[in-house]
Amino acid sequence: MRNAWWKVLTVVLLIYSVVMGLLGTVPRLAILNETIRNLYFHVPMWFGMTIILFASVVYSVLYLRKPSDRLDVWAYQTARTGIVLAVLGLATGSVWARFTWGTWWTSDPRLNGAAVAVLIYGAYLVLRSSIVDEQQRARISAVYNIFAFCAAIPLLFILPRLTDSLHPGAGGNPGFSQYDLDNNMRLVFYPAVIGWTLLGVWITNVSARLTFVKHKLYEKQLA
């Protein structure tokens, strides 16, 4: 139970952010109106995704320096969790766009960049499933994982800021921190970021442990 405190914290933070996100008081702003509540879901998911994918890259770098099955599993499972958060971020962003911009999707640099980034990571999953040899799969996947992260960061956070965009924080369009993220919203937003990130850590931890158990069972069958 000593090591379970962060899981309890995860549940508490997510419940708090969901309840306050749906029922708490938010600023009444033109165009956004009640859709501003999605700020507590969409943006924290992207924050969590970025942190989780960065952790995956760290595992890949460590694997290339000193190869081990455990590092490969951690890199893979962490990347999978990051992809899940990315898809959730795209879905919540699409819903938000529907009610603020009037369409589920538009040719916006940040949206298109996010979609390309997700496809790049989707190719990572396809790559792993197409290589039979375990060591070769782990080595090539580690290199590709590093490439995917290096490609995703500019697509998500750099290139959209260099062009005009409907998305806040790009093309001179003010970000939420400058526009409507007041002190009351910060009391919900930051716990939501921590909660979704910890949820990603939790999911990764469970999936990695299940993989390790499967490996042990397979080794026993061979013995």
Question: What is the C-alpha separation between 32 and 34, in angstroms, rounded?
Answer: 6
What pLDDT does 163 receive? 72
Q: Which residue has the tokens 């800021």?
A: 161
Beta carbons of 48 and 197 less than 8 angstroms apart: yes
Answer left, alpha or beta for residue 161, where phi above 0 means left and psi between -120 and 50 means alpha. alpha
Mean pLDDT of successive 10-residue stretches along the chain, which has 223 residues: 84 94 78 79 93 97 95 96 95 86 82 91 94 92 96 85 64 51 83 96 95 85 73
What pLDDT is recorded for position 143? 96
Looking at residue 95, its pLDDT comes to: 86
Q: Taking a C-beta distance cutoff of 8 angstroms, is the pair 104, 115 a contact? A: no
Q: What is the pLDDT of residue 180?
A: 55
pTM (two decimals) = 0.88
114: region left, alpha or beta (phi > 0 left; psi from -120 to 50 alpha): alpha
Is domain 2-222 annotated with CATH 1.20.120? yes
- In this structure, what token pair is assigned to residue 59? 């595992």
